Chains A and B, each alone.
Chain A
Amino acid sequence: MVIPAVLILLLLTIYPFIYLIYVSSHIWPISPTLPRIFLGFGQFTYLFQDPAFIESLQVTVNLMVVGVTLQISLGTLLAILLSTRTKITNYFTLPFMIPVFISPVVVGLIWKFMFNYDLGILNYLLEYIGVGSINWLGTPRNAFWSVVIIDTWQWTPFTTLIIKAGLDSVDQTPIEAATVDGANRFQIFRHVTFPSIAPIFTVALLFRTLDAFKAFDIIYIVTRGGPGGSTYVLGYNIWKTAFYQNQLGLAGAMSVIMIIIATILAFILVRIMKNLLERE
């Protein structure tokens, strides 16, 4: 009875993928009346010499690494804080999870408003405490960090939740034994708790890494890739090339490269998940 599900997914993924490779070897305008020109691997060799493409790869990786590192570290910290006070946690979980369940478009728009130079509440508060206004989205560096802040705000609840679930399932006996032996809290975390939550920790890490790799919505809403290409992530680059600059073929070639990277990441995730499931 898995056949309908498998067939539908094959139809919606494998066939388009083959078609994508075909498209990526052509100059392919959106309008069906314009001619398509066969180029073979031409667009791939072009892309690897295109500084804008290389830069967008770079930006994607930077955003991914910085954002995910922050979300995991903050998530771990919060998970440890929350898991020690179980009763309060239950009241916190619901409001805490809201950012994850609302549209990234909404999240992007709220923050864009708060980051606004003249009207934004953040600059007002900064003025109020005497720090002075920050041009949140105006300079390349600030815009990059603003996007990181938004992504972290939306997804830290997710990492916290997963890591907390890991912490809650840790067997308490060795921890008590270690306490009796005189280990301090950091030593216990490092040598007892961490090894037992390491797999679930990795799952959170990889899930977020793959999602961060797809980044588009918030970038589109908040920065449109700018200023100066500082947030010009791969997903946005592909969208713009295809549907704004009307070059489906070139965008197709970028997509092929993106799929290859995503496959490698997914392969690592699958390996770890598999080990995790087989151990149970």
Chain B
Amino acid sequence: MFPIYWMVVTSLKNTVDIFAIPPKWFFSISFENYWYIMSDDSGFLKKILNSAIASTLNALFTLLLAFPAAYSMSRYKTGGINLLMWFLSIRMIPPIVGAIPLFIIFSKLGLVDTFIALPILYIIINLPFAIWMIKSFMDEIPKEIDESAYVEGCSTTGVIFKIIVPLIRPGIFATLVFCFIMSWNEFLIAYIFTRKEAITAPVGVARFITERQILWGYITAGATLASILPMILLIIFQKNLVRGLTLGAVK
């Protein structure tokens, strides 16, 4: 925990205190780094906004694709264990490996540095996770509930929206949040596929390392801002998020 404490503390120091030797444990709180970070000069807020757009779009895309797939795999065992494993193996591909061909393809399509590039690319990373996660929540609902609904004349759509969705609502939210956080934190793909307009927060923070100097005040302030949202989401959704991380291995 200390490194995180130290990051927040440093971000609240003024430049003189940051470079003080020995490091100051007690200091007067200064928001100068945050004022700069939030000003138009740094453009950091725009990067946070870009991150939010990319992550939200990706979470929605992923859910739209994952839910029907998970439903069918949970209820009709579509593709069986092999399909489930195929999804898992997609998750294991190192992203850098896909980056080269996809970069050439996206360049040709004029998609590099657009707001749609990252949400699409993150599907590769998040969809396998999301399918596993939603399926593991659905598997916990006894099939007898579906069956009794069918007996009472409910249609498949009815079963899905009136029974399954309400029952796994926490699971659906956790999946959305999980995809959101993964996209929010991603660096490599964002770094390659954005130039100027669509830069995300992690890329923005990394750019405070300049050739001449490392702007520690801005870096720690930017890093703190970029971490607040994931931390709040972790506090709210803790158990179910952890479950996603381990593909349902931890319940």
Which residues of A are interface residues toward B (Cβ below 8 A)?
A: 1-2, 4-6, 8-9, 12-13, 16-17, 19-20, 23, 28, 32, 93-95, 97-107, 109-114, 118-119, 121, 124, 128, 153, 158, 161-162, 165, 200, 203, 210, 213-214, 216-217, 220-221, 235, 238-239, 242-243, 248, 251-252, 255, 258-259, 262-263, 265-267, 269-270, 273-274, 277-278
Contacts and interface: CB of A to CB of B under 8 A. Distances in A.
Given A1-B68, A5-B66, A17-B101, A113 B242 contact: no
Contact of A19 (B19, B71, B104, B203): B104
A106 B202 contact: yes
B16 interface: no
B98 interface: yes
18 contacts: A12-B102, A13-B124, A20-B100, A98-B231, A101-B233, A101-B234, A101-B241, A103-B202, A104-B187, A105-B187, A105-B223, A110-B3, A124-B23, A235-B94, A242-B103, A248-B100, A252-B100, A255-B100
Contacts of A107: 3
Given A16-B98, A161-B250, 14 more contacts: A2-B78, A102-B4, A103-B185, A106-B227, A109-B223, A162-B250, A200-B249, A216-B96, A216-B188, A239-B99, A259-B94, A265-B92, A270-B89, A274-B81
B235 interface: yes
Nearest to A266: B92
B133 to A, nearest CB: 13
B43 interface: no
Contacts of A101: 181, 185, 230-231, 233-234, 241
B127 to A, nearest CB: 6
A259 B93 contact: yes
Contact of B79 (A2, A17, A110): A2
Majority secondary structure, A binding face:
helix
B22 interface: yes
Given A2-B73, A2-B79, A269 B92 contact: yes
Interface residues of B, number: 84
B234 A98 contact: yes
A246 B179 CA distance: 32
A213 B233 CA distance: 28
B162 interface: no
A161 B242 contact: yes
B98 to A, nearest CB: 6
Contact of B104 (A112, A235, A248): A248
A6 B84 CA distance: 11
Given A119-B19, A265-B92, A32 B223 contact: no
A1 B135 CA distance: 13
A165 B205 contact: no
B187 A94 contact: no
Contacts of A23: 100-101, 104
A185 B124 CA distance: 45
B125 to A, nearest CB: 10
Contact of A235 (B19, B96, B246): B96
A19 B230 CA distance: 35
